[in-house]
């Protein structure tokens, strides 16, 4: 949809997709697994094999027990929205409003990602809502974004 094509609907009533242009992360040996993880549709975080702590952002050692025995591990992709804001400033020409969210993963609420919320109308967003990961692919980079969870979550 082109900007201004339907002013009567109001921008905020539309499901948002995120900014019109993205700055992609630079892949480094320690973070490449994270940014390419979505190739198989799964989200991964480093986890300490000694004390089971999830470690994010990626680090060479576990901050809890200092072990260096960390390996990427698949998580459910389910998370809870902790906080959000709506960006309305048109930093990038053509960008409509989009949502920036902070989500805590189901496996450990201390592990949080700053991300974009997609497939949701701005007025339907609430802190505490259940969200699921969805990946936005740009070449070999899969950005983990989140959308409202489908189905009933136990």
Residues of this chain that bind Zn ion (CB under 5 A)? 48, 50-51, 53, 62, 64-65, 67
- In the sheet that holds 70-75, the strands lie side by side as 54-55, 43-48, 70-75
CB of 52 to Zn ion, least distance (A): 7
Question: Cα(119)–Cα(150) distance, rounded to whole angstroms?
Answer: 12
The smaller minimum CB distance to Zn ion, of residues 64 and 123, is found at 64
To Zn ion, the closest distance from the beta carbon of 64 in angstroms equals 5
How buried is residue 113: exposed, middle or buried, by Cβ count under 10 Å (0-12/13-18/19+)? Answer: buried
**CB 113, min distance to Zn ion, A:** 20
Q: Which is nearer to Zn ion, 31 or 50 (CB)?
A: 50
Alpha-carbon span 73 to 81, nearest angstrom: 22
Q: How far is the CB of 82 from Zn ion (least distance, A)?
A: 24
Give least dist CB 29 to Zn ion, A. 20
Integer Cα distance of 86 and 99 in angstroms: 4
Cβ distance to Zn ion smaller for residue 57 or 94 = 57
Phi then psi for residue 29, to 5 deg, are -55, -35
Strand residues in the chain grouped as ranges (E): 43-48, 54-55, 70-75, 78-87, 98-105, 108-117, 130-138, 141-148
Nearer to Zn ion, 48 or 120 (CB): 48
Q: Which is nearer to Zn ion, 48 or 99 (CB)?
A: 48
């Amino acid at each position: 949809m082109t900007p201004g094509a339907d002013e009567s609907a109001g921008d905020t009533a539309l499901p948002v997709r995120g900014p019109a242009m993205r700055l992609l992360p630079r892949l480094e040996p320690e973070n490449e697994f994270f940014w390419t993880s979505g190739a198989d549709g799964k989200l991964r975080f480093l986890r300490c094999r000694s004390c089971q702590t999830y470690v994010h952002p990626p680090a060479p050692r576990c901050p809890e027990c200092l072990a260096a025995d960390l390996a990427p591990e698949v998580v459910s992709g389910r998370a809870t929205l902790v906080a959000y804001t709506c960006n309305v400033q048109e930093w990038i020409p053509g960008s409509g409003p989009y949502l920036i969210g902070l989500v805590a993963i189901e496996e450990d609420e201390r592990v949080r990602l700053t991300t974009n919320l997609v497939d949701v109308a701005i007025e339907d967003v609430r802190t505490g809502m259940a969200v699921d990961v969805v990946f936005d692919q740009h070449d070999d980079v899969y950005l983990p974004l989140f959308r409202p969870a489908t189905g009933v979550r136990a």
